């Protein structure tokens, strides 16, 4: 089978399976490798140590699939509804997390595409990956002609904007590569840089993840720095601001994928109910959604910060419950949040907790909260 016919067949099958974008790139050292190394050296990855731990593996796709010669880069549109109004006591969730876990859906399609490839060439080595392998996906997507890397560091496509997931099918067979997208089509636009709530976009094409709300609400495993908490606003999980203001996202199509439709309780989320969830309840509600990643402790920490930023009459009861949680991370966030309330019940809960609290960080948060009285 020729490289041309294999590439054509794989792309056709990818579209049949429901992928919205498909382009072929060579297996090579990614052009942005040194920039990635400098980004890590600057400390911008924060606690995402898994990136630095595997930095050498990013040097070439052969570390993902031995003998790889070609990469079929794929995109899946996830734009569905518009964000619902958060309102009092409710928290925003990033669009990509409104429905089912995209990993499950895309992995299933990749397995079918890999099986199709093996039927065409039984001796081929094939592997499908979705953002968990050490592969510079955005770099290879650009090489495959799927888009350019925007000033907000997202891959941008002329048709889909940046509302799409990336995936890759690596093969030991040669593919006919598409023309790469050279340069950027962002022009002089600064919308994403100017709109970032925390100033995480320190410059065009450079993100300090330590200040990014998506990092703070999803990847960070400890307390959010006090100076950044008010800047999170009503965002419970992730942040779409830099995408929402991007001109390329204004006229993008809506996906037909039903699994990405917002669940009734994720766009937005009622925060008070979260504090009533034990581990089993949290698992039942979020296990097969992206909100599972920060686990219960991370989501409750985030919920407390939102309720501290956006006080409601009903919130102190839920925060008071969180102040008694087994997780110190949750108790600390609830202490900070209760410190934003003048409600006597909030102060009473803090005083009672301080009398029995043994964790130093939680005690510090309670004592700091009293300073707001």
Residue numbers annotated as active site: 131
User: Are the beta carbons of 242 and 207 closer than 8 angstroms?
Assistant: no
Query: Alpha-carbon distance 112 to 304, whole Å?
Result: 42
CB of 259 closer than 8 Å to CB of 313: no
Residue 257, Cβ neighbours under 10 Å: how many?
Answer: 18
Q: What is the C-alpha to C-alpha distance for residues 327 and 348, in angstroms, rounded to an integer?
A: 20
Q: Are 22 and 174 in contact (CB under 8 A)?
A: no
Distance CA 229, CA 225 (A): 7
* Buried/exposed 335-367: b ≥16 CB within 10 Å, e otherwise: bbbbbbbebeebbebbeebbeebeeeebbebbe
First and final C-alpha spacing in the chain: 75
- Is residue 165 within 8 Å of residue 43, measured between CB atoms? no
Other C-beta atoms lying within 10 Å of the C-beta of residue 78: 22
Q: Say if CB 23 and CB 146 are below 8 A apart.
A: yes
CA distances from 291 to 18, 96, 114, 134, 238 (A): 24, 10, 28, 23, 10
């Amino acid at each position: 089978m020729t490289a041309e016919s294999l590439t054509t067949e794989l792309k056709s099958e990818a579209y049949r399976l429901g992928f919205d974008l498909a382009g072929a790139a060579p297996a090579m050292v990614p052009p942005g490798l040194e920039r990635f190394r400098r980004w890590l050296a600057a400390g911008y990855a924060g606690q995402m140590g898994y990136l630095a731990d595997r930095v050498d593996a990013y040097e070439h796709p052969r570390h993902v699939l031995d003998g790889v010669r070609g990469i079929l880069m794929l995109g899946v549109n996830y734009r569905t509804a518009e964000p619902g109004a958060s309102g009092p006591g409710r928290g925003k969730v990033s669009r990509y997390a409104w429905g089912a876990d995209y990993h499950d859906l895309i992995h299933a399609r990749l397995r079918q595409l890999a099986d199709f490839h093996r039927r065409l060439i039984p001796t081929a080595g094939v592997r499908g990956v979705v953002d968990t392998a050490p592969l510079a996906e955005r770099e290879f997507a650009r090489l495959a002609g799927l888009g350019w890397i925007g000033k907000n560091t997202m891959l941008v496509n002329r048709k889909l904007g940046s509302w799409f997931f990336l995936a890759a099918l690596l093969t030991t067979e040669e593919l006919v590569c598409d023309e790469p997208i050279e340069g950027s089509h962002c022009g002089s636009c600064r919308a994403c840089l100017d709109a970032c709530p925390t100033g995480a976009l320190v410059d065009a094409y450079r993100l300090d993840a330590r200040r990014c709300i998506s990092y703070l609400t999803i990847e960070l495993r400890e307390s959010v720095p006090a100076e950044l908490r008010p800047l999170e606003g009503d965002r419970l999980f992730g942040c779409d601001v830099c995408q929402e203001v991007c001109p390329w996202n204004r006229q993008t199509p809506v996906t037909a994928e039903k699994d990405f439709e917002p669940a009734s309780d994720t766009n937005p989320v009622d925060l008070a109910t979260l504090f009533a969830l034990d581990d089993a309840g949290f698992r039942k509600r979020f296990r097969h959604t992206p909100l599972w990643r920060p686990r219960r402790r991370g989501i409750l920490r985030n919920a407390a910060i939102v309720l501290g930023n956006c006080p409601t009459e009903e919130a102190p009861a839920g925060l008071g419950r969180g102040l008694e949680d087994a997780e110190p991370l949750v108790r600390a966030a609830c202490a900070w949040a209760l410190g934003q309330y003048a409600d006597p019940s909030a102060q009473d809960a803090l005083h009672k907790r301080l009398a029995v609290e043994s964790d130093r960080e939680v005690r510090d948060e309670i004592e700091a909260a009293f300073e707001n009285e």
